[in-house]
Amino acid sequence: MPYISGFKRLEKVMENILDRLRRGDVIVGDGALGTMLMQRGLKHGEPPESYNLTRPCILEEIASLYLQAGAEMVTTNTFGASPLRLQQFLLDGEMETINRSAVEAVRRAVQDRAYVSASVGPSSKILKPFGDTEPEEVFASFVRQIRVLLAAGADLICIETMTDIVEATLAVKAARSLDSKIPVMVTMTFGKTPLGFFTLMGSSVKVASAELEKAGADIVGSNCGDGMEHMVGIAREFRNHAHVPVAIQGNAGLPVTEGTTLVYPETPEFVAGKAKELLDLGVQIIGGCCGTRPEHVRAIRKVVDNR
């Protein structure tokens, strides 16, 4: 898509993201949402999704900042908006309003200049036999959330920060049960071990890729994690095993405490350098997660445009 000075996108009706990926396009994602909300008053322990009810204008502002930085895919504030997760904050009765408001806020900001990526995070429950929650309960919770996200007009479903491959596939199947054609992206979170990269529940990149594709994911990859340094290694493994486009959205490193503030050490320049390596590997969606800001997205945008 064409850009002019300042990385302000020219208005254009967005074509299906999967068509662009099949053509070989590289798509720039946005950065952290929680980090931006904390800068705007979100308190420790307060559910970010409460802003969907009380301050949707903040969500619109953040989406606009990422759009201006060059993001082509902007995420909704619905990571923890499944009914099961909202129960922790006694907000499950507001589930429909929370999800709908989040999609509408991003759409007001980006209109048809970026994809509205509807975030679906873990349920916060542990599935049997390791925990006490039935898979059917988690599946039903995802169905309820995703139904609202689709009805509100999301362009794709982004199932993210998953560590349990069983739960991740339940989320994919929930989306597919509602819409067989909606683009579905799934990003797992991996840690580095002496034996390679594994999720907290023990799934390798190879296993995760195979199971997600089998469940119906159109795009696979990784988000969050230890920073962009490790993301290059994770991306290399995905490219070795995946048969669909790969997405990488890493943290700006691991946070350190300075006084009462969490600071993420990876600079926009560092992230841009890693974005070049991701492009060399053939990664087609590159964005940020915790600690990344519009400055990081702008740096990624420059790398992609220069390519």
pLDDT in single tens digits along all 307 residues of the chain: 333 333 333 344 579 999 999 999 999 999 999 999 999 999 989 999 999 999 999 999 999 999 999 999 999 999 999 999 999 999 999 999 999 999 999 999 999 999 999 999 999 999 999 999 999 999 999 999 999 999 999 999 999 999 999 999 999 999 999 999 999 999 999 999 999 999 999 999 999 999 999 999 999 999 999 999 899 999 999 999 999 999 999 999 998 888 777 889 999 999 999 999 999 999 999 999 999 999 999 999 999 999 8
Peptide bond into 48 cis (omega under 30): no
- Topology of domain 3-306, per CATH? TIM Barrel (3.20.20)
Amino acid found at 274: K
Helix, strand, coil % (nearest 5) of the chain?
50, 20, 35
Give Cα separations from 273 to 64, 251, 295 (angstroms): 25, 14, 14
Q: What confidence tens digit (pLDDT) does each residue in 197-254 have?
A: 999 999 999 999 999 999 999 999 999 999 998 999 999 999 999 999 999 999 999 9
Q: By CB neighbour count within 10 A (0-12 exposed, 13-18 middle, 19+ buried), where does 247 fall?
A: buried
| Two structure tokens written together for 162 | 């998953």
For the chain, give the mean pLDDT: 94
Query: How many helices and strands (H and E) does the chain possess?
Result: 12, 14
